[in-house]
Each structure stands twice: as C-alpha cells, then as structure tokens.
Amino acid sequence: KVLILDFGSQYTQLIARRVRELNIYCEIHPFNKIPVDSESFKAVILSGSPNSVRGEDVLHPDLTQIRGKKPMLAVCYGAQYLAHFSGGKVAESNTREYGRANLSFVKQDEDFFTGISKGSQVWMSHSDTIKQLPTNGVLLASTHDVENAAFKIEGEKTYAIQFHPEVYHSTDGKQLLENFLVHIAQLDQDWTPDSFVDETVEALKAQLGNDKVVLGLSGGVDSSVAAILLHKAIGKNLYCIFVNNGLLRKNEYSSVLEQYEGMGLNVKGVDASARFLDALKDVSDPELKRKAIGNAFIEVFDDEAHLIEDVKWLAQGTIYPDVIESVSATGGPSATIKSHHNVGGLPDYMKLKIVEPLRALFKDEVRRVGASMGMDKDILGRHPFPGPGLAIRILGDITPEKVRILQEVDAVFIDNLKSWNLYDKVWQAGAMLLPVNSVGVMGDERTYEKCVALRAVESTDGMTADWVNLPYEFLQKTSNEIINKVKGVNRVVYDISSKPPATIEWE
C-alpha cells in the first residue's frame, strides 16, 4: 500500500483517487501523524499545500525515517519541501504559475517519464518556485516558466514534481503516477473490489469471532453494503435495525425492508413514526429538527439494541470522506453549516466497540464493492437521502398532512425521473415543501394552496453541486402531474441554484 502524507492541499483526495484507479491501495494521513505501521507502506507521496515552505511555523515533519528508504514522490509543496530542506532554494516566483503549461524539456531515458514526451500538458498551481535543486538533484523536466518542474535525487528513488499529476488537466498525470508506483516503486496492481471483499470478510471474521454485532440500516448505499459484507463474515450474528422515522419517501419503509429480507439479512423493522413526529411537534428551526431527530433515533436504536442479548459491536457505514474530513492537515474545525445527525454516534453508556468495514472506501468504490457481491442495482444506484429525511425538506413546522403532501410530490418526481431514464444521470433529487401558500385557479374555483420546489443536482461528493438542466418537456409533464394528482398543491417551481452559494437541501 501507499502512504499519502497530507499537507492540506485541496487535491489530496484526488491523489488517492488516482492511485486507487490504478488498483493500488493507499491511505491519506496528516503530515504530522506518520502512522506507526509506516513499515507496511511500500511508497510515499507528499501532497501539495496552501502553505509556503518559507514560513516559520509551518508544516515541516521529520522525514528522515522515510526519505531514501522508500520510493517517494513529492508533489508541489512536497517538492518544494524536499528542495528547501536538502540544500536547494525556494523563493517566491515572479510570474503567476497557475493553470496549464506544457513540458518544454523532458530528460530522455528516464523511467519516470516513460510514455510521456515533450509538449505534454501539466497543471500548475503554486506561488513559490524552486530556484535551485537540492544536493544531488537531477533535473528531469521543465516548462516555459518553471525550470525545475521535475527532479530526482541521485542514488535514491526520490522524485519531485512541481505540477499536479492528480488533476485531469495534467494529461499524462495518470501515466506518471503509474510509472512511479508500478515501475519504480514496484507495487502490485491487485487491489480490486473482489480482493477487497475477500480480505475484508477474512479480517471481519478474525476481528469479530462469535460476537454479536448491531447495525442501523438506513436504506442507503453505505449501510446496505456494510451489512452485506458483515453478513458474509458473521451471518446471523449480525442484527440489523431499520427504523421508520415517518420521514422516509413514500412506501420506502416497506419496500426497503422487503428488499433487505430478500437479501437474507437478519433485519428488524421498527416503526417509530409517531415518536419522531411527536418529537418534531412545533419545531421549525432546521438545527433543532436535526437534534430532535438525532435524539429520537438514539433512543429508539438504544431500546432495540438492548433487546439483543450480549451484543458487543456497533457497525457503521462510515466511508473514507467522512474519515479524512476530520483529519485535515491545516484546518481547525470548519464552520458548521449543517450538523449531520447520523455522524454523531451513540451515547457512551452503550459501550459498544465500533466496526466500520467501509472506512477506507470512496463512494464509487462502495458501489463497486456492492456490485462485486451481486447486490441489486436498485440499491447501489440509490440517490443520497439525508438522515432527517423529509423533515428538512418541509420548511417550517412539520405535520402529518405536510409529510403526506411531500411524499406524494416526491414520488411523482422520482418516478418520472426513472421512467424518463434521467434518474441515473442525476446525483440527487427531491422536492421541498415551501411554507407559503399562493393563489391559483382550478376549474372556476380560486385556490390558495401550497407551493413545492423541485431540486435535482449534479455532484461528485455533495460538497459542491450544480442544478441539472432537466428537459422542459419533463418539467412540464411532472409539474402537471403533481398539481393534478396531489391535493393541496397548486404551484411547482424548479430550483436553479448551485452550491455554493446555496446548499443542496433547503434547510
């Protein structure tokens, strides 16, 4: 496996993605927390950073245990760091070095550049530049503006590049990573969904033995894949709980429960709708709604878990982006825009040990793992859906009648997306019930009813998103159908805001 030391670049996760795309396993760790089992890593990549190596108080880890002992690739800040501390010179650059550039010189007969020639486009993003190579540095490539665009250290498998091979705009970036990881560091490309399943199932068996494990299923991709993995490892010792909070999509509770049973899972459905709606009575503030739902969930789950005699573990569908967001190298905690209740965890007194079989995976890898275990496309392709469900799509206070209206509207929208073959092209879609009534006319009657907003976005991780350009005919038909079928709604609008500055959910 490969160790990626994170100096806080916005591109660090992308490096990990590219490495995984080569079927090589990697992990990201903060620059100042080199893992204790660093021996087990066969190569190291140093990431970029928003900082300058010339600063006083900044990111200067001791790499003596690693450098020269393992193959190392230093990217951007990493390259400058290497130069600065090994007899080279880094200074502020006179010209702006952002965006595309082309290699104007590439050293011939160099494994690092196999298959990459002069002219290849690379992506730069830095304000410092390497003026002088470090001791024993050998120049490997230049661009028009950046002389020391790539170098190696003679006698070591240590390579450094000023540009970013991980972004798509570096056309041969993937080739370069492959040259380094496969040809120079000699890593095997054997990390596949199948091998992940085999290894994880074995590891779970060893870790859990005959212990009982409880897992909360949400209907979403992550918890479902986690459940199937655990089921493969420990069978009936996995106790799944699927809670109906009364804020799911129309018919979702019964259909998802059936699906889970069909997959052979030991699952208990708990219909706690009334309890949740009660907890939400007269609550309008989005964060208070999340708290109310989070607390109710913990209570319900806790009651159920206590019924399982001698349960030792709590399994969670945590995935990689959840993990690394909390270990960002430079940042303190970022501002809480919305608190996502489902990452809050359970009360201490439950004293369960945590097992998270998907901790190392990105979302699309989770889907691939699910597919390799033969899981239904219907589950794997499901859009993300927030833990608090329709509660944060009903603006203002929540009543059973509002839930009914929104469930109906949402069902028309989602069913139409499916029948128009648009569902899989959209990252997430849903409807919002607005806290306004507007005047309409139906037949010869004046109406004064609810307005709903439809939202469909494209995204890769939910961090940024753009609205989807759905066909007008689709919107026309969907709007008609909603107004004709759903009693209480006389107006439909389509949300054309991107994130940022808006967010995906309205609350």
Indicate the helix (H) or strand (E) that contains 5: strand 2-6
Q: Report in angstroms the alpha-carbon separations of 71 from 14, 19, 207, 341.
A: 20, 15, 32, 41
Count of residues touching ligand XMP (by CB under 6 A): 15
412 membership: H or E segment, kind and range: helix 400-419
Contact 238, 227 (CB under 8 A): yes
344 is in an annotated binding site: no
Nearer to ligand XMP, 390 or 486 (CB): 390
Please state at what angle helix 472-485 crosses helix 400-419, rounded to 10 degrees.
140
Least gap, CB of 283 to ligand XMP (angstroms)? 14
Q: What does DSSP assign to residue 61?
A: -
Pairwise CA distance, residues 371 & 365, whole Å:
10
220 known ligand binder: yes
The answer to whether the annotation marks 343 as part of a ligand binding site is no
- Identify residue 175 by its one-letter amino acid code: Q
Whole-angstrom distance, CA of residue 217 vs CA of residue 387: 11
| 451 catalytic per annotation | no
CB 75 within 8 A of CB 46: yes
Four-residue CA torsion sign, 312, 317, 322, 327: positive
The residue annotated as part of the active site, out of 76, 97, 240, 365, is 76
Nearest-angstrom CA–CA distance, 13 and 4 = 9
Among 20, 84, 126, 290, binds ligand XMP (CB under 6 A): 290
3-state SS, residue 483: helix
Asked if 248 contacts 386 with a C-beta cutoff of 8 angstroms, the reply is no
Note whether 338 binds ligand XMP by CB under 6 A: yes
Supply the minimum distance, in Å, between the C-beta of residue 402 and ligand XMP. Answer: 18
For residue 384, state whether it binds ligand XMP (rule: CB under 6 A): yes
Complex with ligand XMP: residue 318 or 342, whichever CB lies closer: 342
Q: Is 387 in the site for ligand XMP (CB under 6 A)?
A: yes
DSSP labels, 447-472? EEEEEEEEEEEE-SSSSSBEE----H
Interatomic CA distance for residues 64 and 74, integer angstroms: 14
- Asked if 240 is an active-site residue, the reply is no
Nearest to 81 by CA among 50, 46, 34: 46
User: Cβ 503 to ligand XMP, closest distance in Å?
Assistant: 3
Question: Looking at 126, 164, 231, 383, which residue is catalytic?
Answer: 164
CB of 339 to ligand XMP, least distance (A): 7
Residue list 388-407, contact with ligand XMP (CB under 6 A): 388
Q: Which is nearest to 387 in space by CA: 269, 225, 505, 477?
A: 505
48 known member of a binding site: no
Does 428 sit near ligand XMP (CB under 6 A)? yes
Q: Which stretch binds ligand XMP (CB under 6 A): 90-98, 207-215, 335-343, 402-410?
A: 335-343
The DSSP element (H or E) to which 268 belongs, if any, is strand 267-271
- The residue behind tokens 């002389």 is 147
Stretch that binds ligand XMP, among 87-95, 261-269, 333-341, 418-426 (CB under 6 A): 333-341
Q: How far apart are CA 236 and CA 265, in angstroms?
A: 8
* Segment lying near ligand XMP (by CB under 6 A), choices 42-50, 78-86, 250-258, 384-392: 384-392
Site string for ligand XMP, 236-275 (x = CB under 6 A): ----------------------------------------
Among 415, 462, 475, 493, binds ligand XMP (CB under 6 A): 462
Question: Is residue 386 near ligand XMP by the rule CB under 6 A?
Answer: yes
Amino acid (1-letter code) at residue 174: K
In the bound state with ligand XMP, the residue whose beta carbon lies nearer, of 147 and 495, is 495
Task: Tell me whether residue 164 is one of the annotated catalytic residues.
Answer: yes
Q: Contact letters (x/-) for ligand XMP, 485-504, by CB under 6 A? A: --------------x---xx
CA distances from 426 to 346, 453, 468 (A): 33, 16, 7
Q: Considering the candidates 26, 84, 97, 166, report the single residue annotated as catalytic.
A: 166
Q: Quick check: 455 binds ligand XMP (CB under 6 A)?
A: no
Residue 222 among known ligand-binding residues? yes
Which CB, 184 or 379, lies closer to ligand XMP? 379
Stretch that binds ligand XMP, among 20-28, 221-229, 316-324, 385-393 (CB under 6 A): 385-393
Quickly tell me which residue has 């993995």 as its tokens: 229
In whole angstroms, give the CA distance from residue 85 to residue 77.
12
289 lies in the site for ligand XMP, by CB under 6 A? no
221 annotated ligand-binding residue: yes
**Residues forming the annotated binding site for ATP?**
218-224
**Residues forming the annotated binding site?**
218-224
Any idea which residues carry the catalytic annotation? 76, 164, 166
Which residues are at the interface with ligand XMP (CB under 6 A)? 290, 338, 340-342, 384, 386-388, 428, 462, 499, 503-505
